[in-house]
Amino acid sequence: MRGIDSAAQTVYRLMLTDHHLGVEELASRLGMSEAEVRAALDQLADLRLLRPSEEVPGAAPGGLLPVDPRVGLAALLQHNELLRQRREQDFEESQAAITRLLAEYRDESASEDDHRIERLIGMATVQARLEELTRSISTECLAFSPGGARSAASLEASRPLNMEALTRGVQMRTVFLDSVRKDRATTRHAEWLTDLGGQVRTVPALPLRMVIFDGEIALVPLDPANTRKGAVQITSVGVITALVSLFEQVWADATPLGTPQERDEQGLTRQEQELLRLLGQGYTDEAAGKHLGLSLRTVRRMMADLMQRLGARSRFEAGLYAGRRGWL
């Protein structure tokens, strides 16, 4: 059950079988402390899976009774779905606003004396600036790293600077794509970062590649479709604030690397949900794979698996059946 931790689930199940149990009896039967039981009861009440006994005719006052799961859990699923839709809407609105802001600062007609933006042409220039900024960082580094798994050599080359920053107490938070979970070199690098105090999470897709230093300077690609062209260094307070807000929204919904990926009530992973969404928007298999950091072969294998689960014989039928089942 999403939104309910294991302790609350255990308490709820027992109360469904015997709703006369008090805190002490629940703690004794479940081998939990009374504080843990009370915390679980608070969570269940917040989720509206418990209600005061005064609301139930004939029940003794002063207690809590479990709500019928056919009612309470259905309402909770609906509530979670509304929250998910709201998060997606907020994310899309924030992404659109940031895209507009970045477009303004990429305008070639911008004044030469506008020091809020600096263009860094070519990968060598970008790499040199990254090293310079990483050495001068003092508090925090936030990063989106789309594009799938990086080579072992590239990850190894980044270690000295990362170690230097982490040993100085810099907080490093990085978001990779879910696709890197199956890449051993990347997972080893993430474990190494975590051991030094860094934090790593993953999401199905990322809006752009970026690094934010101390909440004051950001590097983003000149052309998101071809990062080798170079990058833009931004120091505008308004744009930085928007980029940090975008990062925090994505970070809050990301899954720590090392934590198993959950499936929704339809049995779909978030990566499968995103693949269906992209294909539903008209993306080709190749374009969807690039967005998710997956090979064309992997995308086609995932789609074949989804079609088999849907009982569909064609992409058209898959889209139709997925819509009927609420997968889209």
309 class by beta-carbon count within 10 Å (0-12 exposed, 13-18 middle, 19+ buried): middle
Cβ count within 10 A of residue 89: 10
Q: What's the pLDDT band for 212 if we cut at 50, 70, 90?
A: very high
In sequence order, what are the beta bridge partners of 120? 231
Q: Which two tokens stand for residue 19?
A: 């709703």
Please tell me which residue, 213 or 153, carries the higher pLDDT value: 213
Q: Which domains does the chain possess? A: 6-67 (1.10.10.10), 79-256 (3.30.870.10), 270-324 (1.10.10.10)
Q: What's the pLDDT band for 22 if we cut at 50, 70, 90?
A: confident
Let me know: does 37 contact 11? Beta carbons within 8 Å. yes
In sequence order, what are the beta bridge partners of 234? 117, 218
Q: What is the pLDDT of residues 269-318, one digit of tens each?
A: 888 888 888 887 778 888 888 888 888 899 889 888 888 888 877 777 77
User: Is residue 140 predicted with pLDDT exceeding 90?
Assistant: yes
Q: Which two tokens stand for residue 170?
A: 């810099």
Q: Which of 292, 288, 322 is nearest to 305 (CA)?
A: 322
User: Is residue 121 predicted with pLDDT exceeding 80?
Assistant: yes
Average pLDDT over residues 111-131: 75
What is the pLDDT at residue 173?
A: 94
What does pLDDT average to over the chain?
A: 79
Let me know: does 172 contact 141? Beta carbons within 8 Å. yes
Q: What's the pLDDT band for 251 if we cut at 50, 70, 90?
A: very high
Q: Backbone phi, then psi, for 150, in 5-degree steps? A: -95, 160
Q: Is 282 left (phi over 0), alpha (psi -120 to 50) or beta?
A: left
Q: How many CA atoms lie within 13 A of 147 on its CB side?
A: 14
Hey, which of 181-185, 239-243, 254-258 has the most confident mean pLDDT?
A: 239-243
Give whole-number Cα distances, 179 to 39, 95, 267, in Å: 36, 22, 18
Q: Which of 74-83, 138-147, 285-294 bottoms out in mean pLDDT, i.e. has the lowest? A: 74-83
User: Is residue 79 predicted with pLDDT exceeding 70?
Assistant: no
Number of H helices, E strands in the chain: 12, 10
Q: What's the pLDDT band for 141 if we cut at 50, 70, 90?
A: very high
| Spatial separation of the C-alpha atoms in residues 213 and 209, rounded to whole Å | 14
Please tell me which residue, 57 or 10, carries the higher pLDDT value: 10
Please tell me which residue, 65 or 3, carries the higher pLDDT value: 65
- What sign does the CA torsion over 35, 39, 45, 50 have? negative
| Spatial separation of the C-alpha atoms in residues 300 and 319, rounded to whole Å | 15
What is the pLDDT at residue 207?
A: 83
Q: What is the pLDDT of residues 124-135, one digit of tens each?
A: 888 888 888 988
Residue type, 249: Q
Q: What is the pLDDT of residues 172-198, one digit of tens each?
A: 999 998 888 888 888 888 888 888 888
Q: What percent of the chain has pLDDT over 70?
A: 81
Average pLDDT over residues 84-101: 66
What is the pLDDT at residue 112?
A: 43
In sequence order, what are the beta bridge partners of 218? 212, 234
Q: What's the pLDDT band for 247 if we cut at 50, 70, 90?
A: very high
| Spatial separation of the C-alpha atoms in residues 154 and 123, rounded to whole Å | 13
